[in-house]
Chains A and B, each alone.
Chain A
């Protein structure tokens, strides 16, 4: 991936399913076209998109990965705004997130 904004203060968005424990940031995009192509047929990804939206994974929401499971770090427990949700990494890959910009002091903001 070519990063044309290497001078920008904003970190590059990552898939939520690939983020590690302790990750904090905001949701950039949810649903179709976000995740890898293994998210099968259109019907399935439309369904998943709506379910994620309905349970609060919506663009702009603040998230934090609180815990991960033993096997393969799966599933993950995520704080979404004010609630905690459990999700498998496979489904979390339909969510694109951006970490909070890092300040020069190295502290995360927010």
Chain B
């Protein structure tokens, strides 16, 4: 793959948000970039390689969606710079492929006319023709191509439809089939936009027939999902069901994984000669990494629902329903998607804020994204909840552990709103940017693509378990094992190890919030990845000669106050170095990640202190 010439033919995929650019990019390059039925999924440029049927090596560039080349928000600016060659390291494109949603041509055709002004050759890929055909929309491609003066190729990006024709057209362009003209692009004035609209209207009248009653399904579904009362109730119900499912659906699979690791640990302990190696494998790797992998089913159930909702087209509706509600604290309807993504992981969530063009609202969204409970916190929450909250049902069907989990998520959300509100009050006031967002048509999620996406998440999680988490586990095991216990020691050896020393050194700081030295030891490697804390606890207690499972060990060793305080700590604590470094990259400053670290740590300490001391009063 490294034999791509540096001057390879380069073409960019440009188009309105959600018209299928990334799906087409994946179809051409075989990559697996994220595709979802929401405008504004792609926020950075991605390149991929391909070889055309005639053997040309090419580079395709997927770009964020936009309605014009003005480049207002950070994601639109990426597209603008890529096309207009504003970035120093970007050589200009050889060809633009403009992708249009065939069910909604008007805005795409206006963009085509604007793109033609850049002087670069343009090919129009008329995507989603499958849906257009189903709805009875007829498009006279030949006439459209004639009127636009560029090739028009019908495609079905999700089914690889039209690949051969599109590649042939690209090949033809590369062979000099159509030449570039002198660039005359300048930022379009309002009246120029109006004038292009008139041209486009004429073209649509001449080339497209749209039956009346187009897209009745979206209308019917929206009558419920966008209803001011039912819509909000459905949104709450959906979120609640997700958390219930995360708990109850995944339990059987988790038990299987847990039993598997327990068996493996026992096998190593009983069959390997006692010593360092057996301890490293059983206490460090199997107990540590295993205690994290157990949570894979829960994380996959969560991702399954998020991906399903994204593909269905619900996310834009959720943004609509939430706009005014979160607008009250200075956020924006557009903040909703980044915040919801942060439930999976704050890093893509923070990246997704690029669609917000108002800098204040973007920063406010970034600052509160870590308060959304990311999936890496699930292991910590589940471990403690399972050990301290009885697994009973209230009202016959609502799982009590699920309720506590829901409460932790709610605590994160409510604090996020308070922080956003304080941010607007004390840090940065100013007016809100307009909320203007396309509401895409609903699409039936393809189970195959949802399945592939979930598997991909599983792969990423396991990879992380095999690299970051595994190496942290080995490090922790090492620190918790050396130096060994001195002669005549009374306590288990771990008390005298480096980890024990670090834990005891931190104890004065953490004792006021109810943490013991084992927790202190676990929190530090937890910075690398939150779930490592669980593995670290497992290793620390396993080396401390606690034979029982981690859950029952902490149930006997911790007071209720300690457990609840640790939960409260995890709602806030900035226990994730990668989040901080993404904030640094996205804000291009040290000030914001630093501010984030300080405010989150302060809140975490405060919350844990309050929870610990309140619980002491009642127990």
State the A residues within 8 Å of B (CB).
31, 40, 46-56, 58-60, 66-75, 77, 81-88, 90-91
Q: How far does the Cβ of B586 sit from chain A's closest Cβ, in whole Å?
A: 23
Pairwise interchain contact B67-A69, C-beta atoms closer than 8 A: no
Chain A neighbourhood of B104, CB < 8 A: 82-83
Pairwise interchain contact B436-A49, C-beta atoms closer than 8 A: no
Interface core residue of A31, A47, A66, A67 (most chain B CB under 10 Å) = A67
Pairwise interchain contact A67-B222, C-beta atoms closer than 8 A: yes
Residue of B at shortest CB range from A73?
B228
- Checking A40, A59, A84, A88 against B435 with a beta-carbon cut-off of 8 angstroms, the contacting residue is A88
Q: Residue B193 at the A interface, CB < 8 A?
A: yes
Q: Residue B307 at the A interface, CB < 8 A?
A: no
Docked Cα-Cα span, A11 to B307, in Å, equals 46
Given contacts A53-B190, A58-B194, A69-B323, contact A82 B214 (CB under 8 A): yes
Q: Residue B98 at the A interface, CB < 8 A?
A: no
Chain A neighbourhood of B103, CB < 8 A: 82
Pairwise interchain contact A86-B323, C-beta atoms closer than 8 A: yes
Interface core residue of B190, B193, B323 (most chain A CB under 10 Å) = B190
Docked Cα-Cα span, A56 to B438, in Å, equals 10
Of B40-48, B265-273, B296-304, B313-321, the segment with at least 4 beta carbons within 8 Å of chain A is B313-321
Pairwise interchain contact A50-B214, C-beta atoms closer than 8 A: no
Pairwise interchain contact A50-B321, C-beta atoms closer than 8 A: no
Chain A neighbourhood of B197, CB < 8 A: 53, 58
- Checking A53, A60, A66, A88 against B226 with a beta-carbon cut-off of 8 angstroms, the contacting residue is A66
Chain A neighbourhood of B227, CB < 8 A: 67
Pairwise interchain contact A86-B436, C-beta atoms closer than 8 A: yes
Pairwise interchain contact A55-B107, C-beta atoms closer than 8 A: yes
**Which residues, 195 to 216 on B, are CB-close (under 8 Å) to A?**
197, 201, 210, 214-215
Pairwise interchain contact A86-B434, C-beta atoms closer than 8 A: no
Q: Residue B147 at the A interface, CB < 8 A?
A: no
Pairwise interchain contact A54-B67, C-beta atoms closer than 8 A: yes
Q: How far does the Cβ of B188 sit from chain A's closest Cβ, in whole Å?
A: 7
Given contacts A75-B323, A86-B316, contact A50 B438 (CB under 8 A): no
Docked Cα-Cα span, A69 to B317, in Å, equals 11
Given contacts A50-B188, A67-B226, A69-B228, contact A91 B435 (CB under 8 A): yes
Q: Residue B548 at the A interface, CB < 8 A?
A: no
**Which residues, 57 to 72 on B, are CB-close (under 8 Å) to A?**
67-68, 70, 72
Docked Cα-Cα span, A86 to B337, in Å, equals 15
Residue of B at shortest CB range from A87?
B436
Docked Cα-Cα span, A56 to B104, in Å, equals 11
Supply 14 A–B pairs (Cβ within 8 Å), ascending by A. Answer: A49-B190, A50-B70, A51-B72, A51-B434, A53-B197, A54-B107, A55-B438, A68-B228, A70-B229, A70-B325, A77-B226, A86-B316, A86-B438, A86-B439
Which 4 residue pairs across A and B have the least CB separation, nearest first? A70-B228, A67-B226, A84-B439, A54-B67
Given contacts A82-B104, A86-B323, contact A53 B436 (CB under 8 A): no
Given contacts A55-B436, A56-B107, A83-B104, contact A31 B324 (CB under 8 A): no
Chain A neighbourhood of B72, CB < 8 A: 47, 51
- Checking A72, A77, A82, A88 against B434 with a beta-carbon cut-off of 8 angstroms, the contacting residue is A88
Chain B neighbourhood of A83, CB < 8 A: 104, 106-107, 438-439
Interface core residue of A31, A69, A70 (most chain B CB under 10 Å) = A69
Residue of B at shortest CB range from A58?
B197
Docked Cα-Cα span, A81 to B189, in Å, equals 22
Residue of A at shortest CB range from B441?
A84
Docked Cα-Cα span, A17 to B226, in Å, equals 18
Given contacts A67-B227, A86-B437, contact A55 B67 (CB under 8 A): yes
Residue of B at shortest CB range from A81?
B106
Residue of B at shortest CB range from A82?
B104
Pairwise interchain contact A46-B222, C-beta atoms closer than 8 A: no
Residue of A at shortest CB range from B188?
A50
Chain A neighbourhood of B106, CB < 8 A: 56, 81-83
Q: Residue B218 at the A interface, CB < 8 A?
A: yes
Pairwise interchain contact B436-A70, C-beta atoms closer than 8 A: no
Q: Residue B148 at the A interface, CB < 8 A?
A: no
Chain A neighbourhood of B231, CB < 8 A: 67
Interface core residue of B106, B201, B215, B223 (most chain A CB under 10 Å) = B106
Residue of A at shortest CB range from B225?
A67
Q: Residue B219 at the A interface, CB < 8 A?
A: yes
Beyond known contacts A54-B67, A86-B316: 18 more, CB 8 A cutoff: A40-B431, A48-B434, A49-B190, A67-B227, A69-B228, A69-B324, A70-B228, A70-B229, A71-B328, A82-B103, A82-B215, A83-B107, A83-B439, A86-B320, A86-B333, A86-B437, A86-B438, A87-B435
- Annotate B168-188 by CB proximity to A: 1 below 8 A, 0 otherwise: 000000000000000000001
Docked Cα-Cα span, A70 to B323, in Å, equals 10
Pairwise interchain contact A72-B324, C-beta atoms closer than 8 A: yes
Pairwise interchain contact B320-A66, C-beta atoms closer than 8 A: no
Q: Residue B450 at the A interface, CB < 8 A?
A: no
Chain B neighbourhood of A56, CB < 8 A: 106-107
Chain A neighbourhood of B67, CB < 8 A: 51, 54-55
Docked Cα-Cα span, A54 to B328, in Å, equals 27
Residue of B at shortest CB range from A78?
B439
Pairwise interchain contact A86-B194, C-beta atoms closer than 8 A: no
Given contacts A54-B107, A82-B214, A88-B435, contact A77 B320 (CB under 8 A): yes
Docked Cα-Cα span, A83 to B110, in Å, equals 15
Chain B neighbourhood of A46, CB < 8 A: 190
Chain A neighbourhood of B226, CB < 8 A: 66-67, 77
Docked Cα-Cα span, A24 to B77, in Å, equals 35
- Annotate B433-447 by CB proximity to A: 1 below 8 A, 0 otherwise: 011111101000000
Q: How far does the Cβ of A31 sit from chain B's closest Cβ, in whole Å?
A: 6
Interface core residue of B68, B226, B229, B333 (most chain A CB under 10 Å) = B226
Interface core residue of B67, B210, B223 (most chain A CB under 10 Å) = B67
